[in-house]
Amino acid sequence: MTSETAGKPIECTAAVAYEAGKPLTVEKVIVDAPKAHEVRVKVTHTAVCHTDAYTLSGVDPEGAFPSVLGHEGAGVVESVGEGVTNVKEGDHVILLYTAECGECKFCKSNKTNLCGSVRATQGKGVMPDGTSRFHNLKGEPLLHFMGCSTFSQYTVVADVSLVTIDTSAPLSSVCLLGCGVTTGYGAAVKTADVQKGDTVAVFGAGTVGLSVVQGAKARGASQIIVIDVNDQKKQWSVDFGATDFVNPLKDLKEGETIVSKLVDMTDGGLDFTFDCTGNVKVMRDALEACHKGWGQSIIIGVAASGQEISTRPFQLVTGRVWKGSAFGGIKGRSEMGQLVSSYQKGDLKVDDFITHKRPFTEINNAFEDLHHGDCLRTVLDLAN
């Protein structure tokens, strides 16, 4: 069966980022039909990730405007372009900002989840053919974002940038697997490959950090220390599996630093630390709190243009390792099914991250929610 709208442009509501640092404009836009190897998706739910706010703020070197932001979303396939074989109309899907083509050098390697197939054009805000499928009612083209653009009731993505999931999984929840939960959980169980008995410190108790905690707990870590500047994050940290919580603004004695405190708490340093803040000073602390000889620090947080990390080379000479993790090292099309299934079996917490729900028209409030200590994720319902 083919949808009535297949092959035609669709007018729908989107939240357009016209300028850095300004609220989004909720307005009607036109979404063109998918071209070859593209898929048009009716986005049912999206959450706002810290990275959307980062790009909107103007500090993302790849940030470009006007654009349709959003990358943590799920929906239903409305129509497919020529040559698409991996999804069909009606499929329930999660959008993937880390594509998986299965054929490139990266995809063929078991060392990375980064796929080279669409990343270059994705970073420029266009589809692989170099053009956009979005324009406003004045006819001006609007850029895509992270290969997803979930802040629109309909979006067009490359066929390598989405994965079909079981229709029994609620899209209003599993949209969070499009970024935050998968990123943190995967960073612990895949990038770091935390083992039973390991000690772990997680800097930043947002959705990403708490998902690292969840992954470390699943692996049987013996000590999971969360470091966050907001005491409101303590209860959540404990609920997700933390054994200790440290607020560096309040819990350090005179002469103590967060590094010396963590080293003291763990008999010489952590086996694994994770930066989930995007703050380059925190990244240094996270590295230096690692155990001499083998401790690994995983950078997940995204830092502004011009920011750089530094440490004494001696920290690395003496065996500490600095690593990074994108989308938790998860290959989206091959591995998302297992995460959805873990969620459905009750083994992976997803709903616990949804602290707020709003209609799509309140998207600017969802960006404000992010700055409040009582918010992990706001899920937006695009039907409302």
Ligand X SMILES: NC(=O)C1=CN([C@@H]2O[C@H](COP(=O)(O)OP(=O)(O)OC[C@H]3O[C@@H](n4cnc5c(N)ncnc54)[C@H](OP(=O)(O)O)[C@@H]3O)[C@@H](O)[C@H]2O)C=CC1
Report residue 67: phi and psi, to 5°. Answer: -150, 165
Binding of residue 282 to ligand X (CB under 6 A)? yes
Active-site residue, 276 included: no
Dihedrals phi, psi of 71, to nearest 5 degrees: -145, 0
Determine, following the binding rule CB under 6 A, whether residue 326 of this chain makes contact with ligand LAXINWYW.
yes
Q: Is 37 annotated as catalytic?
A: no
Residue 12 annotated as catalytic? no
| Minimum distance, C-beta of residue 280 to ligand LAXINWYW, in the bound complex (Å) | 12
Segments of the chain assigned E as strands: 10-16, 25-31, 38-47, 72-80, 92-95, 134-136, 141-142, 154-158, 162-165, 199-203, 223-227, 244-246, 272-275, 296-299, 321-324, 354-359, 377-381
Site string for ligand X, 210-249 (x = CB under 6 A): -----------------xxxx--x----------------
In this chain, which of 19, 27, 62, 166 binds ligand LAXINWYW, going by CB under 6 A? 62
| The token pair that represents 206 in the structure block | 């947002």
The one catalytic residue in 12, 104, 311, 355 is: 104
Q: Considering CB under 5 A, how many residues would be counted as binding Zn ion?
A: 8
Specify the 3-state DSSP secondary structure of 274. Answer: strand
Total residues binding ligand LAXINWYW (CB under 6 A): 12
273 strand-pairing partners:
201, 297
Residues between 19 and 58 with contacts to ligand X, criterion CB under 6 A: 49-51, 54
Check binding of 49 to ligand LAXINWYW (CB under 6 A): yes
Q: How far is the CB of 302 from ligand LAXINWYW (least distance, A)?
A: 4
Q: CB 317 → ligand X: shortest distance, Å?
A: 26
The closest alpha carbon to 52, from 145, 153, 125, belongs to 145
Q: How far is C-alpha 93 from the geometric centre of its chain's CA atoms?
A: 16
Q: Is 336 in the site for ligand X (CB under 6 A)?
A: no
The catalytic position among 50, 144, 219, 291 is 50
Q: How far is CA 365 from CA 150, 159, 209, 224, 370, in A?
A: 16, 32, 23, 33, 9
Whether residue 66 contacts residue 17, with contact meaning beta carbons closer than 8 Å, is answered with yes
State the binding partner of 230 from ligand X, Zn ion, ligand LAXINWYW, none, CB within 5 to 8 A by kind: ligand X
Write out the binding residues for ligand LAXINWYW, residues 171-190 only, by CB under 6 A: 179
Q: Which of 37, 115, 277, 320 is catalytic?
A: 115
Residue 35, classed as helix, strand or coil, is coil
C-alpha 5/C-alpha 269 separation (Å) is: 58
The reply to whether 171 sits near ligand X by the rule CB under 6 A is: no
Question: How many residues belong to the chain?
Answer: 384
Kindly name the residue from 46, 51, 183, 266 that is annotated as catalytic: 51
Of the residues 26, 64, 104, 302, which one makes contact with ligand LAXINWYW according to CB under 6 A:
302
Q: How far apart are CA 178 and CA 211, in angstroms?
A: 13
| Site map (CB under 5 A) of Zn ion, residues 161-190, x = contact | ------------------x-----------
- Is the omega angle on the peptide bond into residue 66 within 30 degrees of 0, that is, cis? yes
Residue among 8, 22, 57, 61 that touches ligand LAXINWYW (CB under 6 A) = 61
101 in catalytic set: yes
β-strand pairing of 10-16 with 25-31:
antiparallel
In the complex, least distance from residue 336 CB atom to ligand LAXINWYW, rounded to whole angstroms: 15
Please check whether residue 192 is in contact with residue 221, taking contact to mean a CB–CB distance below 8 angstroms: no
Which 295-334 positions form the footprint of ligand X (CB under 6 A)? 300-302, 325-327
**DSSP of 277-332:** S--HHHHHHHHHTBPTTT-EEEE-S---TT------HHHHHTT-EEEE-SGGG--H
Which of 247, 243, 309 shows the shortest CA–CA distance to 279? 309
The catalytic residue among 119, 135, 355, 368 is 119
Based on the shown chain and the rule CB under 5 A, indicate whether residue 227 belongs to the binding site for Zn ion.
no
Which residues make up the interface to ligand LAXINWYW (CB under 6 A)? 49, 51, 60-62, 98, 114, 119, 179, 302, 326-327
Which residues make up the interface to ligand X (CB under 6 A)? 49-51, 54, 179-180, 183, 203-209, 227-230, 233, 276-279, 282, 300-302, 325-327
Catalytic (active-site) positions = 49-51, 71-72, 101, 104, 107, 115, 119, 179, 377
